[in-house]
Amino acid sequence: MGAPVVAAAALASTRTGRRIVIGLVAFVVLAVAFLLVPLMVVPLAVAGQSVTTTVETRPAPVANGDWGYPLAGGYTKGRGFGHNPVSGCSYCSTNHQGYDMAQGCGATVYAAGPGEVITAGTYQGYGNTVRIDHGDDIVTLYGHMQWNSLRVAVGDQVTAGTPLGAEGNTGKSFGCHLHFELRESGRSVDPQPFMAALGLPLK
C-alpha cells in the first residue's frame, strides 16, 4: 500500500495530478461496488430471503388456526369491555365497547382474522381506524392508530397477521393503545370470551 499512496501524494501536489487521483479513486470505488453487489445479493437469494422481510423486527403475532392476536408479543392490558370510566379523561366513553391493549406508540397492529377491510381511516371517535368484515356478521375494529400509518385500504383481503398500521393515540384516546373491538350483527360484544373460544385468551 505504501508505494501507491506516495505516488498519489506526489500526483496530488499539482492540479492535473489531483484530477488524475480523483479519477482513479472514483474508478476504484465503482469497481469495488460492482464486485461487492453480486457478492451481497447472491447469498441472500441462496438463503431464500428477500430484502423486505428483514424490515420487520417484531415476531409475527401468535395465531391459532385462522385467527391470531392483534399485537405480537407481550402487551399491557388497558380497559376491558363494559362500564369502565377513564380517570382524568372527560371525553372518553364510560361504557367501553372494546378491549384496550398496549405495547407502546408505533407498535404494529395486526389483523386478528381473515376478512375484507371495510374501513381504513377516520371513524367516529376512534381516530384512525381499520374495520374488517369477517363474514357471519362478525366485524373487528382497530382504533386510535397513528395518522398516516395504515398499511391497508378499503377492499383489501387480509388474514390474521396482516399488518394494519401503528399503535397510536388518535380520536377519543388517552395515551397510545390499541382499542380492539368486536361486533356481532352490528352490536359490540366482549372480545375476551370470543378470543378465548378461539384458543387465544386475552389477559
* Footprint (CB under 5 A) of Zn ion, residues 4-23: none
Cα 99 to Cα 46: distance, rounded to the nearest angstrom? 44
Stretch that binds Zn ion, among 12-20, 149-157, 174-182, 189-197 (CB under 5 A): 174-182
Bridging pattern class, strands 157-158 and 163-166: unpaired
Check binding of 179 to Zn ion (CB under 5 A): yes
Q: Would you say 86 or 158 has its CB closer to Zn ion?
A: 86
Position closest to Zn ion via CB? 179
The correct pick among 100, 132, 139, 161 for binding Zn ion (CB under 5 A) is 100
Residue 115's SS3 state is strand
For the beta carbon of residue 180, count every other beta carbon within 10 angstroms: 23
Is residue 131 involved in binding Zn ion (CB under 5 A)? no
User: Three-state SS for 75?
Assistant: coil
CB of 96 to Zn ion, least distance (A): 6
Contact call for residue 167 and Zn ion (CB under 5 A): no
- Distance of closest approach, residue 101 Cβ to Zn ion, in angstroms: 9
Residue pair 165/128 in contact (Cβ under 8 Å)? The answer is: yes
Stretch that binds Zn ion, among 12-20, 114-122, 160-168, 172-180 (CB under 5 A): 172-180
Closest CB to Zn ion among 100 and 167? 100
* By the rule CB under 5 A, 134 interacts with Zn ion: no
Q: What is the CA radius of gyration of the chain?
A: 26
User: How many residues bind Zn ion, per CB under 5 A?
Assistant: 3
Interface with Zn ion includes 98 (CB under 5 A)? yes
Evaluate whether 141 touches 180 at the Cβ level (below 8 Å): yes
The reply to whether 183 sits near Zn ion by the rule CB under 5 A is no
**What is the DSSP pairing of strand 99-102 with strand 95-96?**
unpaired
| CB-nearer residue toward Zn ion: 70 or 98 | 98
The per-residue b/e assignment along 132-155, b for 16 or more CB within 10 angstroms, e otherwise, is bebeeebbbbbbbbbeebbbbeee
Binding site for Zn ion (CB under 5 A): 98, 100, 179
